[in-house]
């Protein structure tokens, strides 16, 4: 069942997502060759607690860290590590918090120093696809209108959308119904309504969409070793259309 939220609840989900947005911006500003993602993990925790928010991922189904740090061919759910980032890498950071009973969830893929033109096109197409999907989150539409818009944009750019992982509803639970695939025909699935709060999150591979999970039980990598990018926003559907609750300053 899709849980519709009151405007008071959406305010709380917004507050939580603003903590996420602010912390992701701070982490992004720290990214430079030589920095390691365990440092970013620890920084995210400190900043969350300073804002009276609880990092949402640590301990979630046993996930051991507060951020997912997914490097290059890692799609999602990568573990932060002491390995320094290198010039030309891309690093996806996924972060969530719980504040006053409601969750925030957002992700960005960041270039480390200077990246190749083909890599830049991958991250750009993924972020654009997220916004294409968000534009379809309007009352009266159907859930798969979002999915279809994402897939269409990604494939027109020559990349592929991951099938195995999806976006989700969000609120007083980190993951709620509906599941939001990043592919599919339009006009299917639940009718979109004001009060829905959704985390939309395209995961896009440079080549084939197949993925595999490493022995740690979490880290998802591309099967062919190609690069992967991930962007995510939490949004609310209102009478007048979507509002991005995790929008960062200047974004």
Binds Mg ion (CB under 5 A): choice among 5, 55, 91, 105: 105
Residues of span 231-250 touching Mg ion by CB under 5 A: 232
Binds Mg ion (CB under 5 A): choice among 56, 199, 211, 227: 199
Distance from C-alpha of 122 to C-alpha of 104, rounded to nearest angstrom: 25
Q: 236: which strand partners?
A: 197, 243
Smallest separation, CB 116 to Mg ion (Å): 26
User: Cβ closer to Mg ion: 105 or 127?
Assistant: 105
Site of tokens 């507060």:
66
Smallest separation, CB 18 to Mg ion (Å): 15
Using rule CB under 5 A, residue 220 touches Mg ion: no
Smallest separation, CB 250 to Mg ion (Å): 21
Cα–Cα distance list, 209 to 56, 67, 179, 199, 238 (Å): 28, 23, 18, 21, 33
User: Cβ closer to Mg ion: 15 or 88?
Assistant: 15
Smallest separation, CB 94 to Mg ion (Å): 4
- Give yes or no for a contact between 199 and 232, defined as CB atoms under 8 angstroms apart: yes
Distance from C-alpha of 105 to C-alpha of 234, rounded to nearest angstrom: 6
Residues written for the chain: 251
Smallest separation, CB 211 to Mg ion (Å): 16
The secondary element (H helix, E strand) that includes residue 241 is strand 241-244
Using rule CB under 5 A, residue 94 touches Mg ion: yes
Residues at the site binding Mg ion, with contacts judged by CB under 5 A: 94, 105, 107, 199, 232
């Amino acid at each position: 069942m899709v849980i519709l939220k009151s405007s008071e609840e959406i305010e709380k989900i917004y507050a939580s997502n603003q903590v996420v947005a602010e912390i992701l911006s701070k982490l992004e500003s720290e990214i430079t060759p030589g920095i390691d993602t365990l440092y970013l993990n620890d920084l995210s925790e400190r900043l969350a607690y300073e804002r009276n928010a609880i990092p949402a991922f640590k301990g979630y189904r046993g996930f051991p860290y507060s951020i997912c740090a997914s490097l290059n061919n890692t799609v999602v759910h990568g573990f932060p590590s002491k390995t320094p980032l290198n010039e030309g890498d891309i690093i996806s950071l996924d972060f969530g918090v719980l504040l006053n009973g409601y969750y925030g969830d957002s992700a960005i893929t960041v270039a480390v120093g200077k990246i190749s033109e083909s890599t830049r096109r991958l991250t750009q197409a993924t972020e654009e696809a997220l916004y294409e999907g968000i534009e379809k989150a309007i009352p009266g539409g159907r859930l798969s209108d979002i999915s279809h818009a994402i897939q269409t944009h990604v494939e027109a750019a020559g990349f592929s959308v991951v099938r195995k992982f999806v976006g989700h509803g969000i609120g007083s639970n980190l993951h709620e119904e509906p599941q939001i695939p990043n592919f599919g025909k339009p006009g299917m699935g639940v009718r979109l309504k004001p009060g829905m709060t959704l985390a939309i999150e395209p995961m896009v591979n440079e080549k084939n969409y197949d993925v595999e999970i490493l022995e740690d039980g979490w880290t998802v990598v591309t099967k062919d070793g190609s690069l992967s990018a991930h962007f995510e926003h939490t949004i609310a559907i209102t009478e007048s259309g979507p509002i991005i609750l995790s929008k960062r300053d200047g974004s």
